[in-house]
C-alpha cells in the first residue's frame, strides 16, 4: 500500500480524454483589469457536459512576459473540436475581453495554419469598417476602435491537442479537512505551467458519473461518493469518510496533467484526509490513463 503522510493513495487511475486547446494572453493597463477580464471570460466554463468550453486562468504574467509590455494573464480554453473552440473563444473574447477596460488579446501558442483558429479576424467586424490591420514579424493584428482608444487582438491563434479530465478525489473525515486539503492542492497546482482547474476555485463538490436514470441527462451525481447516500447505494466510502472533493485538471499535454496530479496529491495529503483516489470508467471514457502509483513515483 502506498501512503503519503499516512494518507492512502489508492492503486487506480484517472481517465482523461483529448480536447483541442488554445492559449489567450490578455493584457491591460493594470493587473487588476487583466484579472477582471480573465474572471469574466472564463466564467461558466467548468465542464463541457453543460458549457461551450472548459476554461481557466493558467497564470499571471509580468510585463516582461507579454507582447505589449503590460501586466497580463494567460488563459487556457478547451473544447472537443477546433470549430467549437473557435466559436467559444470568439464569444468570450468578444463579450468579456473586448468590453473590458484597457485590454488587448494575443495568441499564446505556436501557429500551425492547418490547426489555427481565427479570433481577431472575426471580431474585427465590430469596428464597422474603421478597423485597421497591422502585420508585425509575420503576425497580423487588428486594431478595433473603442471608446477608450483601441482594442488590439491578434488575427489567428494556435491550438494543440490537449488532455482534459485528469482528476483525483480527496476523501476526508470532515468537510473542513477535505476542503482544506483541496485548497492546498489548488495552490500547489497553480505553480504548474500548462494546466488549469476549470471548476469553481479549482474544486468540484458535485462529482459526476456517466449516465443517469433520466434519459435526457448525459451525467448525474456520483452517488458512490455521496456520504448522505451511504447505506442506500453501493458506496465507495468507509464509515470514517464524511466529505469528498474532486480536483479536475486540463492541460496542454499529458506531461503537464501528470505533473499537476503529482504535486496536487502530495499537497492534499494533510490532517483529516483518509485516502486519495481517482475517477475512471474502466478505461471506456478516454485513452489517457493517469495511474496514481506511477505518477507519485
Domains of the chain: 2-15+163-295 (3.30.70.520), 19-160 (3.30.70.520)
The HSE-up count of residue 280 (CA atoms within 13 Å, CB side) is: 21
Note the pLDDT of residue 284: 83
- For the chain, the first-to-last Cα distance in angstroms comes to 13
pLDDT at 281: 85
Distance CA 206, CA 141 (A): 41
DSSP letters for 182-209: HHHHHHHHTTSTTEE--SGGG-BSS-EE
In this prediction, residue 166 carries a pLDDT of: 98
Q: What distance separates the 2 farthest-apart alpha carbons in the chain?
A: 66
Determine how many CB atoms are found less than 10 A away from the CB of residue 208.
Answer: 17
Three cell numbers written together for 6: 499516512
Distance (Å, whole) CA 259 – CA 255: 6
What is the pLDDT, as a whole number, of residue 118? 98
Is there a contact between 2 and 295 (Cβ–Cβ < 8 Å)?
no
**Predicted local distance difference test score (pLDDT) of residue 285:** 84
Q: How far is the C-alpha of 249 from the C-alpha of 268, rounded, in Å?
A: 15
- By DSSP bridging, strand 195-196 and strand 243-251 are antiparallel
Total H helices, total E strands in the chain: 6, 18
Q: List 76's β-bridge partners, or say none.
A: 23, 56
Task: Give me the pLDDT at residue 197, please.
Answer: 98
The pLDDT of residue 273 is: 98
Check residue 297 and give its pLDDT: 86
Length of the chain measured in residues = 297
Count of alpha carbons within 13 angstroms of residue 120, beta-carbon side: 27
Contact yes or no for 246/168 (Cβ under 8 A): yes
Question: What is residue 120's predicted lDDT score, i.e. its pLDDT?
Answer: 98
Tell me the pLDDT of the chain (297 aa) as tens digits.
Answer: 999 999 999 999 999 999 999 999 999 999 999 999 999 999 999 999 999 999 999 999 999 999 999 999 999 999 999 999 999 999 999 999 999 999 999 999 999 999 999 999 999 999 999 999 999 999 999 999 999 999 999 999 999 999 999 999 999 999 999 999 999 999 999 999 999 999 999 999 999 998 999 999 989 999 999 999 999 999 999 999 999 999 999 999 999 999 999 999 999 999 999 999 999 988 888 999 999 999 998
SS3 96: helix
Amino acid at each position: 500500500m502506498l501512503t503519503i503522510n499516512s494518507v492512502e493513495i489508492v492503486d487506480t487511475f484517472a481517465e482523461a480524454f483529448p480536447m483541442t486547446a488554445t492559449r489567450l494572453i490578455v493584457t491591460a493597463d493594470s493587473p487588476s483589469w487583466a484579472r477582471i477580464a480573465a474572471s469574466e471570460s472564463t466564467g461558466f466554463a467548468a465542464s463541457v457536459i453543460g458549457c461551450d468550453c472548459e476554461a481557466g486562468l493558467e497564470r499571471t504574467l509580468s510585463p516582461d512576459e507579454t507582447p505589449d509590455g503590460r501586466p497580463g494573464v494567460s488563459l487556457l480554453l478547451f473544447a472537443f473540436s477546433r470549430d467549437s473552440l473557435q466559436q467559444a473563444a470568439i464569444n468570450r473574447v468578444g463579450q468579456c475581453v473586448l468590453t473590458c477596460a484597457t485590454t488587448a488579446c494575443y495568441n499564446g501558442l505556436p501557429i500551425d495554419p492547418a490547426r489555427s483558429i481565427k479570433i481577431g479576424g472575426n471580431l474585427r467586424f465590430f469596428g464597422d469598417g474603421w478597423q485597421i490591420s497591422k502585420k508585425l514579424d509575420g503576425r497580423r493584428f487588428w486594431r478595433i476602435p473603442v471608446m477608450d482608444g483601441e482594442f488590439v487582438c491578434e488575427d489567428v491563434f494556435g491550438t494543440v491537442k490537449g488532455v482534459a479530465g485528469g482528476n483525483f478525489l480527496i476523501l476526508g473525515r470532515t468537510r473542513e479537512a477535505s476542503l482544506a486539503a483541496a485548497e492546498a492542492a489548488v495552490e500547489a497546482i497553480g505553480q504548474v505551467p500548462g494546466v488549469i482547474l476549470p471548476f469553481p476555485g479549482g474544486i468540484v463538490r458535485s462529482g459526476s458519473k456517466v449516465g443517469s436514470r433520466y434519459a435526457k441527462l448525459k451525467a448525474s451525481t456520483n452517488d458512490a461518493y455521496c456520504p448522505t447516500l451511504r447505506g442506500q447505494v453501493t458506496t465507495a466510502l468507509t464509515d470514517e469518510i464524511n466529505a469528498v472533493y474532486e480536483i479536475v485538471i486540463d492541460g496542454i499535454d499529458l506531461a503537464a496533467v501528470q505533473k499537476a496530479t503529482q504535486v496536487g496529491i502530495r499537497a492534499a495529503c494533510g490532517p483529516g484526509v483518509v485516502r486519495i483516489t481517482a475517477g475512471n470508467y474502466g478505461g471506456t471514457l478516454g485513452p489517457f490513463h493517469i495511474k496514481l502509483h506511477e505518477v507519485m513515483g
